Copies of this chain bind each other. A is one copy, B any other.
Amino acid sequence: MDDQPRRLRADAERNRQRLIEAATDLFRERGLEVGVGEIAERAGVGRGTLFRNFPSKDALVVAVVVERIRESIARGRALLAGDDPAAGAFALIDEALERQEGDRALFEALAGDWIAYPEIREAHDEMLGVLGEILARAQAAGAIRSDVSGVDVMLAVKGVCEVQRLFPGLPPDIGRRQLELVKAALTPHADDVPLTGAAPCAQDLDCAVAARHPEAAERALGDPERVAG
């Protein structure tokens, strides 16, 4: 009943930390495909210890990646606190791309089915909230067309990121051009054709994900053997 994660024994806590560090480094450099064996080895523990601390490899990935997403959220809040919402919105868009260029793990985990995991989805939603707020202010200032939602913008940026992932060796200019096109699309013009359909909200994303990934996510991330001590 108490949600507090039970205190781990000192050596266990240290192993857990080492595993996260090893995984963070390996994932950032070589992507999420590195095997559990190598991670355990780099952390100086046995395979089994990895699975004692994390119920699956995916759980370890999630633990590593959520941390990086939170860094992005913090940066978003900083921009939100600034006094130029229009510039802040565009900066947030630009930085989303940069951030992923330096970390293959973040790159890969923001794609594919990873979003089915509740932890990632929550971090994702939180990021979306910040984006929505900063967007609303930019729209109020007339810097962004009024019929786009935060989800529209996030999806557009996500598209650019995905393209970067597809063509990893592409000259960096091209990603920038893609973002410039996104910004051109967001800029209001007198002759804008209004977008059709309802503006998507965060809930649409959640529903979309939940509908397709029944409960696989829950299964893989259920607590490891945290029996009472």
Contacts and interface: CB of A to CB of B under 8 A. Distances in A.
B156 A181 contact: yes
Interface residues of A, number: 49
A55 interface: no
B156 A173 contact: no
B198 A167 contact: no
A167 B205 contact: yes
A173 B196 contact: yes
A225 to B, nearest CB: 30
Nearest to A190: B189
A163 B170 contact: no
A185 interface: yes
A148 B174 CA distance: 11
B200 A171 contact: yes
A192 interface: yes
Main secondary structure of the interface of A (DSSP, over half): helix
A71 interface: no
Given A173-B198, A185-B184, A178 B166 contact: no
Nearest to A168: B212
Nearest to A167: B208
Contacts of A197: 171, 173-174, 176-177
A24 to B, nearest CB: 22
Interface of A: 111-112, 115, 148, 151-152, 155-156, 158-160, 162-163, 166-171, 173-174, 176-178, 180-186, 189, 191-193, 195-200, 204-205, 207-212
8 contacts: A152-B177, A155-B178, A158-B162, A159-B178, A173-B198, A181-B195, A183-B193, A189-B189
